[in-house]
Every structure is written in structure tokens, then in C-alpha cells.
Amino acid sequence: MPETTSLGSHSVGIVGASGYTGAELLRLLASHPNFDLKVATGDSMAGERLADLYPSLAAAYGDRVFDTYSPEACDGLDLVFCGLPHGVSMGVIPDLRGRVGHIVDLGSDFRLHDASLYPEWYGAEHTTPALLDDFVYGLPELFRPKIEGAELIAATGCNAATAVFALAPLLDSGLIQGDGLIVDLVTGVSGAGRPPKPTTTFCAVDEDVTAYGLLTHRHTPEIEQALTERTGVATSVLFTPHLAPLNRGIIATCYGRPTAKATTADALAAMADFYQDEPFMVVDERSPSVKATLGSNTVHLTARVDPRTGLVMAIATLDNLMKGASGMAVQNANLATGVAETTGLPLVGVYP
């Protein structure tokens, strides 16, 4: 990982600070030495104290309240995080651009390069397709040179990031084929956001595991796009997520067909080489645990080659609100503003 320097203080804002990713951004910014929070909007909670919605923030933010959003409120900020629901950022960012130095969008509105994929996978036309080419895809370990100094960054989705982290080293090394990849993923309920839904209430998720988005999950083209762009291998992915009774965390078990005879040692070596010197990536023979990543910006990975079936298996775990969302966003923001990439981001998880 190239060295970057910590440069002074940067004024930042959060548009959409009342959701779970906003709360996690607020937590991280409270101890970030280079980012000075100036604006934190949450229109559904405007005028309410941050600590009344999230008591965990009380020591850092006291009586501070959520601001009402307006583009003018962000004038002159060095960087803005957008933590808005899908479909909202594409209406907000055109008015923000030019008022602020950098924008990191945590949503999905600008992740796909091809505007025609949005009606197919998201069920609606993209309203600002001309901006898609102006955004860089915010997955630092794979696309760092494009992110450094970038004005517009579309941070990677949590499900997509987990799958891509597991599969990219094996594709890049030529160890597996690009077609017929299978991603079997389990995710925590916080990934669905703060607003309650019939499928995410306590009674719905407790003691239950449910597969969803069968054959149609919107992160599928994002996974394929990132893998193909980084490795140069055309990919096709069958992606099946499962909702589990976890507050946070993701584990993805991924399968591919080998291109030639290989061993587990080969697969682990490919992973270790790909992520060499990456501070947030842990490659080990040990089976990854969701709990091990809790509260950290770190990804845990392993791989196996099964001589009986001939399949190659790769596993990755991460905290969906950290490396899968807000931690990833801060890492991107650090790169965009010239701050040392690891600044303000915990390497070690919370245990027990």
C-alpha cells in the first residue's frame, strides 16, 4: 500500500446521518484527527438530538441536533458523505457537486457504469446517467490509484465487497474460471437499514434464516463488474444472500471451477500475494468468523481446494457497517483528501 500523509483538518458533512451508516460515520468521525464534522443532516429527525436517537454518541456529541438538509448548508466543505437510500443520491448529488471538494456516496446510485442495468436490477431508470462515468468505484484494495484524489466516489456495497474480496485473488491469479461463480452469503439485519420492515422486525428474524433476492439481487451486476474490471476476466455470478439473526456482519462462501490442477496451498498463496501489505486484509488457514470483524475495518479470508469435487472455495467475513459501509467510506475519504489511508479506522474487532 503506498504511503500517504496526514494533512491538517478537512471540513466534512454527512447528508443522511440518521441511518445506521450515518451513525457509524458519526462514531468514526468523533475520533478522526483530520476530519472536522460541520454538518450532519437527517431530515426525518431534523432538530432532534443525535444522542436521543443513538445514545452511544452522547459523549462525543452532547446536545448536537440533526440538521435539515439544503445544498447551501454544505457550501465550502472539503468532503461530504451521502448516506441516503437508493434512488435519493442521484437527485441530491448534482446540486452538491461544485459546492464541496469531494463526495463519497455510500448508496448504490453511482456504482454501476452501465445505466441500462438500473431498470433491470433496481426497477427504475437512472435519472442522472451522465454522472456515472464521473464516479470512481470505491473499493480501495482493488482500485486505489483511481480513488486517490478523486472528486466523486461510489463506495462499494457490503455484499458486493465481501464477495469480491473473496474471489478477486483467485481470478487474478488465473486459478479459477470466471463463469459459473457461486456466492452464498449470510448477512446481519442492520444491512437492511434503520426503518422497520415486515421482514426485519425482531419476531421476523429471531431464530430464522431466510434466503432472499433469488436470482435477482441487485448486487449481482456490481460483483460481476468489479471482478471483471479488476482482473480482466469476464465473470458470471449466481449470488444468493441469506438474512440471519445477527445485528451486523457478513460471511460469504464462494465457489469456482479451477482452470488447472491446484491445491489449498496454491489458493492461500494467491490470496496472500494479492493482499500483500494491505493493512485491513487478514489471510489465514483459520476459518473466518463474523464476530472477529465486529467494529473493525478488517476483512478475514481463507481458501480451500477440494480434490474430491474439484471446486475451489473462498470465504470472506467483514462487518457490514464498517468495511461494508462507513469504514469503507472513511477509507475512501482518506484517499481522496490525501490523509493516511488507515487514519481513524480500527484494525482490531470487539470481542467478546
List, by residue number, the catalytic residues: 158
- Between CA 345 and CA 322 the distance in angstroms is 9
- The contacts of residue 236 (CB under 8 Å, 6+ apart) are 178, 179, 180, 181, 224
Residue with cell 433469488: 214
| Cα of 154 vs its chain's centroid, Å | 9
- Between CA 167 and CA 170 the distance in angstroms is 6
**Are 271 and 170 contacting, i.e. CB atoms less than 8 angstroms apart?**
yes
Burial class (CB in 10 A: 0-12, 13-18, 19+), 107: buried
Residue 270's nearest CA partner among 281, 279, 235, 280 is 281
Number of other CB atoms surrounding residue 214 within 10 Å: 10
- Between CA 30 and CA 35 the distance in angstroms is 9
Long-range contacts of 300-309 (CB under 8 A, 24+ apart): 301/165, 301/166, 301/271, 301/275, 302/268, 302/271, 303/166, 303/169, 303/170, 303/264, 303/267, 303/268, 303/270, 303/271, 304/264, 304/267, 305/258, 305/262, 305/263, 305/264, 305/266, 305/267
**Are 343 and 1 contacting, i.e. CB atoms less than 8 angstroms apart?**
no
- Between CA 168 and CA 314 the distance in angstroms is 10
